[in-house]
Structure 1
Amino acid sequence: MNDTLELDQETAALKMPPHSLEAEQSVLGGLMLDNQAWDTVAERLVADDFYRYEHRLIFNAMTGLAEASQPLDVVTLSEALEGRDQLGTIGGLAYLAELARNTPSASNIRAYADIVRERATLRKLIRAASQIADGAFSPQGRPADELLDEAERLVFQISEERPKSGGPIGMSELLAKAVDRIDELFNMQGEMTGLSTGFRDLDEMTTGLQPSDLVIIAGRPSMGKTTFAMNLVEHAVIASDKPVMVFSMEMPAESLMLRMLSSLGRIDQTRYVPVNWRTRIGRG
């Protein structure tokens, strides 16, 4: 940790863009040692994430070979780069051999790829911050709100460009998770595995609302879909003590709250009409 802090301080003092040549070399060398690691790296990195120009050329060549289902090794890479007239630019066959020789193992290639991606994100933040500062120093007649929108766009763009979680999952990993799930269900002895809906028959059929499930309530207009959904919300909040967020695209928040109060108070919603409530309460 201290070594990393000292390296970051030295980089900041020299005003050099954040990068790790060692991590970049380990990623490229690891791919030549273990072609099976390509999917792990490809879902994390693109060529522009590499700081060194030669490494970007090598990774581009690897991408082309992988898409053609060709092996990634010193020979195939040298041929691919020579075909692009880039072999001499990256240092020739000797540099490719050095990458493979100086990488002891590909077992940590995911960690190396994460380092490369992190440094690339930092460089993008620096470029975005520089553009934001230039715009603030020289707005050229643009209002502050417009500059703020541009700053948000630049930062959000970096976030959107980051690789998303997920991706292909191997059968061995899926099988292990399935066995663990079966063991968990066996030990529960028939207990509910999800969040109770508050409707006994529905809970018996579904064993509750399961994590990560997308549940769609379908029906014709005015059939009670919103009321039913709000009943699920009420039960989750009150009975299960779970936080719930409601997004409504067609009904204002006040109307949803009135429906919930009606349900909890066992009040007919049709009685929410503009009349003299004191008179109505007196009659009731």
Structure 2
Amino acid sequence: DFLKPIHLYEPLHRKIFEVAGDIIRMGKIANPVTIKTFLKADEKVGDMTVSQYLASLVSNAVTVINAEDYGRAIYDLALRRALITIGEDVVNIAYDAPLDMPPQSQIEDTERRLFELAENGRYDGGFQSFNDALALAIDMAAVAKERDGGLSGISTGIHSLDAKMGGLQRSDLIILAGRPGMGKTSLATNIAYNIAAAYEGEVQPDGSMKAKNGGVVGFYSLEMSSEQLATRIISEQTEVSSSKIRRGDINDADFEKLVA
């Protein structure tokens, strides 16, 4: 279901694919006889008529066992063509940009088109068989059995939170909401620190690393700089006030905590 007529390069192939899909969705058989009635009879493909071309496609068709892989190959080629088109437009507009389109607007337009391509260019979001979903659920249970704490997800380091959520799951988007000054950033930095501190890697058969416990954390903030975040984390872990750290109003004992 990830492959659409638009992903095929030749207009005739797009039409054939679209007609075949419509016929199959109606519960009928799609073959050269049923498809050709929906195509232009006088259309030519080289020296062949449409009927002859359809018969040629059927006779040269490969086994359906690897049909999904062939479909993904067509899909990937369509994405490459879209990337080429975006790249050519970027170059052409940059060389001959209209007066009302500054470079920043061109960058934003290119980013938007690339983002749309990235979002629409995924073929892993369709229907999934129950057997595959069941295998994933069993794998998740096996990971929870082996992981410290018996969690299916990554431990936040906060036991009461883990007990309710089962850890942080790969498929979850978690939003912390609250009024200003309620401790949202403090909770997020604590969770990030706990996960990073608990990181324990495991070498896979192919030589890559996989997290057995904890994980590698990336922290993005639109409010605080990296220095401010680091100061807050140090303050939380050493129990030394961040305002004192910024002012340098710390004694020798506090400084030893910071550099320990």
Query: Normalization by structure 1: what TM-score?
Result: 0.63
**Is the Cα–Cα contact under 8 Å of residues 136 and 147 in structure 1 kept in the other structure?**
no
CA apart distance, 1:266: 0.6
Task: Report Cα offsets for 1:153-188 as digits up to 9, x if no partner.
Answer: 597265455244321101222233334444555666
Higher relative contact order by CA 8 Å / sep ≥ 6: 1 or 2?
Answer: 1
Residue 245 (1) aligns with residue 218 (2): yes
Residue 55 (1) aligns with residue 13 (2): yes
Residue 100 (1) aligns with residue 54 (2): no
CA apart distance, 1:235: 1.2
Q: Partners in 1 of 2:155 and 2:139 — Cα distance?
A: 23
Other-structure match for 1:7: none
**Is the Cα–Cα contact under 8 Å of residues 139 and 147 in structure 1 kept in the other structure?**
no
Aligned-residue identity in percent: 26
Task: Report Cα offsets for 1:114-165 as digits up to 9, x if no partner.
Answer: 2323333343344444444444554466888369628835972654552443
Query: Counterpart amino acid of 1:227?
Result: S
Which of residues 241, 249, 255 in structure 2 aligns to 1:268?
241
**Is the Cα–Cα contact under 8 Å of residues 194 and 207 in structure 1 kept in the other structure?**
yes
Other-structure match for 1:217: 176
Residue 166 (1) aligns with residue 166 (2): no
Residue 226 (1) aligns with residue 180 (2): no
**Is the Cα–Cα contact under 8 Å of residues 128 and 154 in structure 1 kept in the other structure?**
no
**Is the Cα–Cα contact under 8 Å of residues 192 and 208 in structure 1 kept in the other structure?**
yes
Q: Partners in 1 of 2:17 and 2:84 — Cα distance?
A: 24
| Structure 2 residue matching 1:108: 3-state secondary structure | helix
Other-structure match for 2:77: 119
Query: Normalization by structure 2: what TM-score?
Result: 0.68
Deviates more, 1:238-247 or 1:166-175: 238-247
- Runs of at least 5 residues in structure 2 that lack an aligned partner in the other structure: 201-214, 255-260
- Runs of at least 5 residues in structure 1 that lack an aligned partner in the other structure: 1-38
Which of residues 2, 16, 23 in structure 2 aligns to 1:65?
23
With over 3 angstroms needed to count, the CA separation of the structure-2 counterparts of 1:226 and 1:72, relative to structure 1, is: same
Structure with more helix by fraction: 1
| Structure 2 residue matching 1:107: 3-state secondary structure | helix
Aligned length: 234
